[in-house]
Homo-oligomer: A and B are copies of this chain.
Amino acid sequence: MRRAGPASQQGMRWANLALVLGEIAAEPRSRAEVAAATGLTRAAVSSLVEELLAAGLLTEPGPAVPSGRVGRPGTALALNPEGPGGVGAEVGVEHLAACVVDLRGEVRSWHRVEVCNRGRASAAVLAELAGLLRRAAEDAGLRTAGLTLAVPGLVGAAEGVVERAANLGWSGVPAAAELRLALRAAGAGELAALPIEVDNEANLGGLAELWLGGRPADFIHLSAEAGIGSAIVVGGRLLRGARGFAGELGHVPVRPDGPECACGARGCLEQYAGESAVLRAAGLEGVRGDWVALLAERAAAGDAAVREALAEAGAALGIAAAGAVNLLDPAELVLGGGYAELGEWLLPAMRAELRGRVTVRPWSDEWLTVSRLGRRGPLLGAAVGVVRAIIADPGRFATADQ
């Protein structure tokens, strides 16, 4: 309830810069339309727009409309596609990726390499990633405002530190600092000078779904990457938890006396719907490489063992999801990451469990859907988050002392 400080003229101007830029980000608008939509005076809008144009955040394409013509809107203002962009980076267990999006969130460059990072030293992984980032930035040719790194692990309260990424073998890795050093060593000085954030891939995948997937303000994104993760979005914001560890759906107990999990507990969801468990159930234990593509291919070809394994995984996902729905009452569940490509074979069993277990409130099969972003989600979320932060708080980029 308490505010940090008194409302001030400076705070009001910054809030109004964000208000104006937010209107135009939603769709191109003339000054008059912005004034009508925001309730600000036209004079105030003009002054704020000048500041945003000067900062390179807006563009005013096309000739100005002749004055004196009644009822014609003025020139449309739009987000500047040559304005500051965002950089996304991703360390996966079996891949590295880098991308740049422009201020509108459109992808300007995208690089991905398949490489096994299991047990590889973080410095080597991040050195290779730095090279990829440098190429992505060169291709995009934009000035950039920040970089976010997606990792398959827990990122704790200490900024930029990966506390634990079991599938990589990382523990307590200061990934932001190491990546900055690697960028400098790779001759990418401009990138090395950016603010660098590190976040869990499931969180970023969920944010991508919120921003780009057309989702409502309250949903849960269930994803398989290296492990099983989830992102809980409440009122349009990611729920991060008291210590930043929320979303560990993979270790929700599904059958409390079930098989022992690597985490030390018994019957965790990962023992039924994680990579190793599904491959084992499908008779493909120990297979390496792209397990999602392999399962999708075999299931599509009619492989009964694979289909049965995916149905079992779907049932376990449904049991865990039913608990989450009863606790959190999301408007939707979204199956993302690798699961998105397996939706056809996971959904029926998952929906059956939800139908049978979510009974004290309305629930409909259609509220469980499949992500269109799939495995691209985390990297998109990383890059788009950077430009969304600019749009939410453009005062930081606008000319000072106005």
Contacts and interface: CB of A to CB of B under 8 A. Distances in A.
Interface of A: 1-3, 5-7, 11-12, 15-16, 18-19, 22-23, 26, 38-40, 44, 154, 164, 216-218, 230, 232, 234, 239-249, 251-256, 263-266, 268, 319-320, 322-324, 326-331, 353, 356-362, 388, 391-392
A256 B319 contact: yes
B323 A252 contact: yes
Contacts of A391: 1
Number of copies of this chain that the complex holds:
2
Nearest to A248: B326
Contacts of A253: 319, 322-323, 357
Contacts of A38: 5-6
Given A5-B38, A11-B7, A39-B6, A239 B361 contact: no
A119 to B, nearest CB: 19
A334 B2 CA distance: 24
A362 B243 contact: yes
Given A15-B7, A243-B331, A360 B252 contact: no
B319 A5 contact: no
A35 B290 CA distance: 62
A247 B306 CA distance: 36
6 contacts: A2-B23, A6-B40, A154-B360, A218-B241, A241-B329, A265-B359
A340 to B, nearest CB: 21
A208 to B, nearest CB: 16
Contacts of A252: 322-323, 326-327
A47 to B, nearest CB: 13
B7 A245 contact: no
A218 B242 CA distance: 6
B323 A245 contact: no
B164 A360 contact: yes
Given A241-B329, A256-B255, A361 B12 contact: no
Contacts of A217: 242
Given A12-B12, A356-B264, A391-B1, A232 B327 contact: yes
A331 B246 CA distance: 11
Contacts of A320: 323
Contacts of A26: 2
A326 B230 CA distance: 10
Contacts of A245: 329, 360-361
Contacts of A5: 38-39
Contacts of A263: 359-360
Contacts of A247: 327, 329
B327 A246 contact: yes
Contact of A3 (B1, B18, B218, B328): B18
Contacts of A392: 1
Of A164, A217, A239, most buried by chain B (CB within 10 Å of CB) is A239
Given A245-B329, A329-B246, A392-B1, A251 B6 contact: no
A254 B256 contact: yes
Nearest to A362: B243
Contacts of A6: 15-16, 19, 38-40, 44
The 8 nearest A-B residue pairs measured at CB: A241-B329, A242-B331, A218-B242, A252-B323, A7-B12, A246-B329, A245-B361, A248-B326
B359 A239 contact: no
A391 B1 CA distance: 9
